[in-house]
Amino acid sequence: MNNVKEKVPEFRFRSRSEHTLDAKGRLNIPSRFREVLREIYSETLVVTNWQKSLKAYPVAEWERVEKKLLTEAPGLSGFSDFVRYVISGVTECHLDKQGRILLPGSLRSEFGFGNEVVLNGMLNHFEIWDKGAWQNETRRTRDKFEDFAPGLSSLGIL
């Protein structure tokens, strides 16, 4: 049995929080997420459309995604459709003095965002969901939770 304790990296995007967009579409980024940005990245995020939500990446993490898309994706059949869709939504968002970003109206409308949104940490980036869509997705995920067991076991998590 291994008694060595690994240190969990201090700065990751973890947890979730609910927020209200203001009338201009500005979103307050939680202080714990701003701390991650300030400590290891910058106060600029790359926000883009994904399947059911927006994804917000620190610029350095997004550059890793782009590099993989440029070097590893070209040979994959039909992958240019995916790249076209994701890249079409890319917007750089800078935190203002109040720690907010402006979500473009085109991205908000594409995902049917109301005023209530959920930010969900995904370790090296975070997701921005319409609150209703988030609730549906988490319900769906809970319903199939046992399906994750083989993969978690292979990772040594179970």
pLDDT digits 0-9 by tens, 99-135: 999 999 999 999 999 999 999 999 999 999 999 999 9
Q: Residue 73 sits in which domain range?
A: 16-131
Alpha helical stretches, state H, 18-78: 31-40, 59-71
Task: Note whether residue 149 is domain-resident.
Answer: no
Which pair of structure tokens corresponds to residue 55? 């994804």
Task: Note whether residue 112 is domain-resident.
Answer: yes
Give the CATH number of the domain where residue 49 resides.
3.40.1550.20
Do the beta carbons of residue 125 and residue 13 sit within 8 Å? Answer: yes
Cα distances (Å, whole numbers) of residue 23 to 26, 105, 116, 119: 7, 11, 12, 18
The pLDDT value recorded for residue 1 is: 46
Task: Note whether residue 64 is domain-resident.
Answer: yes
The pLDDT value recorded for residue 42 is: 96
Task: Note whether residue 43 is domain-resident.
Answer: yes
> What is the SS3 assignment for 99?
coil
Task: Note whether residue 100 is domain-resident.
Answer: yes
Task: Note whether residue 95 is domain-resident.
Answer: yes
pLDDT in tens, 66-103: 998 888 777 777 788 888 999 999 999 999 999 999 99
Task: Note whether residue 55 is domain-resident.
Answer: yes
Q: Which of 21, 19, 41, 38 is nearest to 30 (CA)?
A: 19
The pLDDT value recorded for residue 8 is: 52
Q: How many domains does the chain fold into? A: 1
The pLDDT value recorded for residue 89 is: 93
